[in-house]
Structures are given as structure tokens and as C-alpha cells.
Amino acid sequence: MAVDYATLKKGGFMRQKQKNHFSLRLRVVGGQVTARQLAKISEVADQYGHGYVHLTSRQGVEIPFIRLEDIDEVKEALAEGDVAPGVCGPRVRTITACQGSETCPNGCIESEKLAQELDQRYFGRELPHKFKFGITACQNNCLKAEENDLGIKGGLKVDWKKESCINCGLCAKVCREKAITITDGVVEIDREKCNYCGRCAFGCPTDSFDTIPGYIVSFGGLFGNHISKGEPIIPFIEDHDKLMKVCDATIGFFNEHANPGERFKFTIERVGRQELEKAVREAYNS
């Protein structure tokens, strides 16, 4: 009987060099795997693989050396531990994310929560080619947001509160962009220099900054045979619903304009960045 390799790949089973053996990519969202899932993955790797897993550069977990005849048993066994196969091929891939503001002192947004939301919204959606989301919660950029087709970086918009300031000068000292100056006890923020890192607010001992969390979204990143840094269109998106509209518009633009096998960066270049900017701004302002 002929093997439908395309369907297997769609379901996360990638062919190996060894005949009738597959490396199974698992569904991992935002780099989070529960202890229960880990236990089941370990069990399956021992029973059906070679007793180890491979951790990918995009927070993925793969079990190599799954035999063709064991595929159905493997899926059933994994399901017992709430573990699902991932996807490969021309569709929305794993949503990567750092731990975010829930645990990281530098985090400006809840990146893990956002990863779960984007996963539910887009994971596995069929597209002309693969499409990658990456979320990082602050300017430290642990998840390298700009390498993704659509990257999301958390930030804080800050405003100084004179009434609670003790003029210690710490905000100016910790600002790596030199966006803060203090003159006669007045803190001034250069909005052109500010990169929304939030260090001034995090470092302030008297909570003298109002903060608004938001998102810096980059488009068209690529890291492979060709390397390209994604670039933003809207400097800072404060509203969560507007962020979702921008993501919807981006996926829609790629689906409408991309040729089969064409990454988003090259679609932008061929169609024109001004057309993407138009679609994104229309969604943002709707």
C-alpha cells in the first residue's frame, strides 16, 4: 500500500534517511510543556523511538526513529498524556514565546498567554508556505522576534509622575537609549529615542512612572538560506484587539498574495511593502 507522505508530514511526521522511519514533531505552545506531558513523551521515546528526544531551535520537541507501522499506536499513546503532534509544511507553525511578565522581571507583556491565544487562532492554518510567529516580552529579545514572519515584542509606554518623584536620577542612569534627561528636577522623555524597554519604570524606587503595556510588531523576518530582519509598520500598538486585527490582516495578505512555496518576505518584496502597510494600517484603524 502506498504511503501518503504528504499527509504524514502535515501531521508532524517527517521522513528520516532511514527507510520507513520518521521524526515526530510535537505540538508545543510558547515553549511550555507540563510535567505530565514530559513523562508521556519520555515513555513514548523509550518504547517507540531510540530513547531520546530532539529539542529544536523553535522550542519544539521531536521524537526520532518512529517506525511507520507504529504511527497510530504512537498517536494514541501520546494522547493519553495530552500530547498532540505538531505540523510541518505550508501552514502556521509552532508559536514560540519567552516566559514573559508572569515570571520574568524584565517582561512587559504576558507572552505565554498571547502565544496560547495565537495558537488557538492560527495554528495549522493552511497557507501558500510556512508562516512563523515569535513573541518576546521585552527589548532583551530572547526569542528574536524580528527573525519571524510576524514578530511581537512587548514594551511599555511610560509617562513621568512629578508628584511622587524624589529626583534620585536612577531613571536616567538605567536608560540605555539616553532617552531620559533631568533638568531642574524635571524628567523629560525623548520619544524618538525611547524604545519602550520600561527600564526607567522598573528601576524607579517610588513608582513615578505611569505605564501602558503594548506591542511592537515586525513583518517579514527570515532566518535560513536568506536572512532578513523584520521591520515594524506601526511603532507601538497599545490595544490588544488592534493587535489581533493586525495579525489577521497579515495572515490574510500572505494567503491572498503569496505564490506557492514563497516566504512572506519575498511576497512583500514582489507585491510591494506599501501594499502590506496599507492592509495593516486599514486593519489597525478599523
DSSP secondary-structure letter at 112?
Answer: H
- Residue 83's pLDDT is 97
Does residue 1 register a pLDDT over 70?
no
Q: What pTM was computed for the model?
A: 0.94
User: What pLDDT sits at residue 2?
Assistant: 80
CATH 1.20.1260.120 fits 5-79, yes or no: no
Confidence label for 235 from pLDDT (cuts 50, 70 and 90): very high
pLDDT mean over 20-26: 97
Q: Where are the domains of the chain?
A: 5-79, 126-285
**Region 89-100 average pLDDT:** 96
Provide the CA 172 distance to its chain's centre, in angstroms: 31
Q: What is the pLDDT of residues 37-62, one digit of tens each?
A: 999 999 999 999 999 999 999 999 99
Starting at the earlier edge strand, list the strands of the sheet with 96-97: 96-97, 133-136, 150-160, 209-219, 231-232
Mean pLDDT value of segment 229-251: 98
What digits encode the pLDDT tens for the residues 247-257? 999 999 999 99
pLDDT digits (tens, 9 = 90+) for 174-188: 999 999 999 999 999
Give the whole-angstrom CA distance, residue 105 versus residue 168: 21
Structural Rg of the chain based on CA atoms: 22
Q: What is the sign, positive or negative, of the torsion defined by CA atoms of 222, 225, 227, 233? A: negative
Residues ≥6 apart with Cβ < 8 Å to 155: 108, 109, 138, 139, 195, 196, 197, 198, 213, 214, 215, 216, 236
> What is the helix (H) or strand (E) element at residue 114, kind and residue range?
helix 111-122
Q: For the structural domain made of 126-285, what CATH number should be given? A: 3.30.413.10
Q: Are 46 and 126 in contact (CB under 8 A)?
A: no
Report residue 3's pLDDT band, with 50, 70 and 90 as the boundaries.
confident
